[in-house]
Amino acid sequence: MEKNVLITGATSGIGKATAIRLSKEGFNLILCGRRTQRLESLKNQLSSFTEIYTLNFDVRNQADIKNAIKSLPEKFQHIDVLINNAGNAHGLDLIQEGNTDDWDAMLDINVKGLLYMSKAILPEMVSRGNGHVINIGSTAGKEVYPKGNVYCASKHAVDAINQGMRMDLNGTGVKVGAINPGLVETEFSDVRFKGDQEKANKVYQGYKALQAEDIADIIWFVISRPYHVNIADLMVMCTAQASSTLVDKN
């Protein structure tokens, strides 16, 4: 049976790697993102493997999300798997020196964006009595590190929402789980350090970080389990990482 998977933040990093992995497993994909050119490029790349539909919107805009979901053609209207992947980190500052625009961006995308997407998709899953939500969290949702303040708070919120969502949906037939990666070598640090490539590169020097493809493999594993199996909360780090502040770079 064909399954439709919707991925937010599909234009780079974990989202893009997941789209590539799942396309080769035969899942039909709804790829969502803000960067139209990247979406179209990815669609062209993957269309030979499976059916692709793209939606261009910002998860911070609830009205745009509703309109985008309503615009889906009939074939894509029932969504079997929602992957709440869109997220960001802006800045790495002491709380007293933090930029409130950065705070707004992290809370609006990481927390409210995840909620808006879930609100748009869940009612149809519940009415159908079937579905699967995967929330992409972070090890930053399990512990706090210096200067991580608001980013860590946003990912702690994802952890709480994931647990609450699983409780509220118990008995509906909808599975809910989270994948919480540690250090993954993507554009994440480019965004966090606002284009300072030297700072971004230093994050991943001296050890082998997780790659986006590693998380994509895990996502495929999670969604390919039998119906009675739910990976509720999975944390994954590279071998060199023991915690947010302890990384072997020798």
Query: What gap in Å lies between CA 245 and CA 151, rounded to an integer?
Result: 15
**HSE-CB of 247 using CA atoms within 13 angstroms:** 18
Collapsed DSSP state (helix, strand, coil) of residue 27: coil
- Catalytic (active site) residue 204: no
Collapsed DSSP state (helix, strand, coil) of residue 137: coil
Helix orientation angle between 114-128 and 62-70, rounded to the nearest 10 degrees: 40
Amino acid letter, 181: P
Helix, strand counts (H, E) of the chain = 9, 9
Calculate the CA 218 to chain-centre distance: 13
Selected catalytic residue, list 53, 151, 204, 207 = 151
Contact 157, 142 (CB under 8 A): no
249 phi/psi in degrees, rounded to 5:
-110, 25
Active site residues: 151
